Amino acid sequence: MARRKRTSLVLERAVRRAASINSIDPSLDLGNRLTLPAFSTLIETMRTRENAYNSALSSLDKLYREMLETEDELGDMTEHMLMAVGTRYGKSSVEYGMAGGVPKNQRRKGLRGESSTPSDEQLEFVASVEGKNGNKTVATS
């Protein structure tokens, strides 16, 4: 998704104001460096920077799309490399494991109704309950 380009309401208002002031006097000098030429110069500077910013966003969008395409290619090639190692050396080989695959003879097939977590890693449940007489009892499972 392309990044949203920036438009400046302050810039638009300044352009309208400069046009209005220009109708009063094109070389108006209000003192303290408040002149129409200085105002116009600052408007052009802002316009240039806004355009540069929006161009940079477009370039960034292009780089992002290119990066995502390369990432997809890399993911596909990673998978193909592992499959090729499996084809050449076999899926039960040490080389297949070295390439990042799980050798076929080391795969664990789950039985129906068996949880995905091994039984030695099951969590222990501890509950503390206060009885009627104020004594606390602890239950574990």
Contacts of 4 (CB under 8 A, 6+ apart): none
Over residues 69-128, the pLDDT tens digits come to 999 999 999 999 999 999 999 999 999 999 999 988 887 876 676 665 555 545 555 555
Q: What is the DSSP string of 60-121?
A: HHHHHHHHHHHHHHHHHHHHHHHHHHHHHH-TTSHHHHHTT---GGGPPPPPTT--SS-GGG
With tokens 């129409």, the residue in question is 36
Contact in structure between 94 and 104 (CB atoms under 8 Å): no
Over residues 34-83, the pLDDT tens digits come to 999 999 999 999 999 999 999 999 999 999 999 999 999 999 999 999 99
Report which DSSP code applies to 125.
P
With tokens 């303290």, the residue in question is 32
- The pTM score is 0.58
User: What token pair was written down for 35?
Assistant: 């002149």
Nearest to 100 by CA among 113, 89, 112: 89
